[in-house]
Amino acid sequence: MKDIKKIVNLDYISIKPYFTIKNLIILIFLYLVYFFITSNPLTANSTILLFSLIHSSYPFLVGEDDGIDSLYRIFGIKSGKVVLGRYVFALILFIFALLISIVFSTIFSLFVETVDIKEFLSTSFAYLLVYLLIISFKYPLYFKYGYKKAKSISALTFAFIGILSFIVMAFKDSLNDLFIIMENNILMTLLISLLLVLLIVFISIKVSQKLYNNRDF
């Protein structure tokens, strides 16, 4: 547990320089653009998801440029703990972004109809699942190849999600009955989705640990 805490602290210190006023202004600007296009704070919160995804890659970038990864082994921190710590940090990062989204939603909901708390929670939960899925596909690549080599490859993750979304829309009519069942059993749907995503995350962690352990620095 202490090693994981060290990794989380080191990851925070490594990306802290990226938490600048400039980046905050950019985030707010993007949020406003989405908000005025959709007039929906919940849709605008997708910028928070983007914020989390971008910053979740920075520990790999800094670690590669500054040689931090090799220091972990010098300090006797096992590769498996490094991997687990980085996944934990990614989750903490999303929670931090979620807190920001709560502030934004509270402020901008004053200009539209009141945001339903259940809708906000379900939307945030959906964003969390998407975030964990993307992380689960990207992180093994980063642990195997490093940030720079894996950056272009990890772009395939977004392509895969785009293709999957296209397939779902293309067969929307055929899947209509399934969507109705899911809508009528929302709690069961959320539970199954959560368990499926957690299984993917677990597999991703195990794969990352194996790849990172065999990587040469």
How far apart CA 55 and CA 19 sit, in angstroms, is: 9
Mean per-residue pLDDT of the chain: 79
How far apart CA 83 and CA 61 sit, in angstroms, is: 15
DSSP class per residue in 163-210:
HHHHHHHHTTTTTHHHHHHHHHTHHHHHHHHHHHHHHHHHHHHHHHHH
Q: Give 104-120 pLDDT, tens digit per residue.
A: 777 777 776 666 677 77
pTM of the model: 0.81
> Would you state the pLDDT for residue 205?
96
Structure tokens at 33: 């653009």
Q: Give 149-185 pLDDT, tens digit per residue.
A: 887 776 666 666 667 666 656 665 665 666 566 666 7
- Rounded to an integer, the average pLDDT of 119-123 is 74
Nearest CA-CA partner of 46 in 34, 37, 56, 63: 34
Contact between 11 and 86 (Cβ < 8 Å): yes
Lowest pLDDT segment from 12-21, 108-117, 124-133: 108-117
Amino acid residing at 120 = F
Q: Which residues contact 75 (CB under 8 A, 6 or more apart)?
A: none
